[in-house]
Amino acid sequence: MTAVGYVHGYSEHEARRLGDQADTLAALLHTGSVYPAGSRVLEVGCGVGAQTVHLVTAGPEAYLTAVDVSEDSLAQARARVAADAPTATVEWCRADLFDLPYGDAAFDHLFVCFVLEHLADPQQALAGLRRVLRPGGTITVIEGDHGSAFFHPDSAGARAVIDQQIRLQSAAGGNALIGRQLQPLLARAGYADVVVRPRTVYADRTRPSLVEGFTRNTFIAMIESVREDALAAGLTTPADWDWGMADLSRTAEDDGTFHYTFFKARAVNP
């Protein structure tokens, strides 16, 4: 999305992880969002289209435009929407969110999901996006916060591997703890009527699809994906890493429980 590296990488495995995550979390993250017929909606940083398929479902008669800085991600997003929502019409565009090729006030609504966490200056990004949003138009922002991850059995090793992912994301110019900051970020960027609500995932053995879809295939997979980077950065050793990941995996087994909070914000461009 900008010059900073994308901490999660661009592998096929990562694209599948993002798809799993979006499908498991669709109800949690998209509930309450409706895009009226005829409204002009811009998805900023659509990536591989994991959320795009849910946007076209939430607003089948809206005019949806999706931009991403990666040509390769856009190609995957196109393919995903063609497969999952073949009747949907999406305008795709390769663009940097800091230099969008649209006129002032071109959109009624902006959708920004899992993007700010990768930016060095999220407040500046939000402020800049106001240009293409009409006065009175709204923005939806969704972000996680890895500080919300806690689990049973608790484990210093598991907390350490999560902390290493947070550090790597920070070193890449991002912020894995950004969810808690959405309210001040949006307010300082000039938006009005900011409303932020937590969307909490809690998984235990009585909810096996969440254990599989979220704890294992979304969160643990995301942490596991930074193993080589964590080793290369000297943040851990193979033995410590494997110990931490083994403990983290136990939260998705037997009597394990896992908690994570996403934040969903909505605000108005005054």
| Interface contacts to a copy of itself, rule CB under 8 A | 145, 147-148, 150-152, 154, 177, 180-181, 183-184, 187-188, 194-198, 200, 202, 204-206, 255, 257, 259, 261, 263
- Least distance in Å: CB of 268 to a copy of itself? 12
Q: What is the chain written as a DSSP string?
A: --SS--TT---HHHHHHHHHHHHHHHHHHHTT----TT-EEEEES-TTSTTHHHHHHH-TTSEEEEEES-HHHHHHHHHHHHHH-TT--EEEEE--TTS-SS-TT-EEEEEEES-GGG-S-HHHHHHHHGGGEEEEEEEEEEEE-GGG-EEES--HHHHHHHHHHHHHHHHTT--TT-GGGHHHHHHHTT-EEEEEEEEEEEEETT-HHHIIIIIIIIIIHHHHTTHHHHHHTTS--HHHHHHHHHHHHHTTSTT-EEEEEEEEEEEE--
Please state, in angstroms and as integers, the Cα–Cα distance from residue 103 to each residue in 61, 62, 107, 146, following that order.
22, 19, 9, 36
- 55 or 201: CB nearest a copy of itself: 201
Question: In residues, how long is the chain?
Answer: 270
**Residue among 72 and 154 whose Cβ is closer to a copy of itself:** 154
| Smallest separation (angstroms) from a copy of itself to the CB of 122 | 13
End-to-end CA distance of the chain, in Å? 26
Q: How far is the CB of 5 from a copy of itself (least distance, A)?
A: 23
Beta carbon of residue 145, minimum distance to a copy of itself (angstroms, whole number): 7
Q: Which is nearer to a copy of itself, 134 or 180 (CB)?
A: 180
Query: Which is closer to a copy of itself, CB of 58 or CB of 196?
Result: 196
| Least Cβ distance, residue 183 to a copy of itself (angstroms) | 4
Smallest gap from residue 175 Cβ to a copy of itself (A):
10
> Given the complex with a copy of itself, which of 131 and 188 has the nearer CB atom?
188
Q: How far is the CB of 106 from a copy of itself (least distance, A)?
A: 28
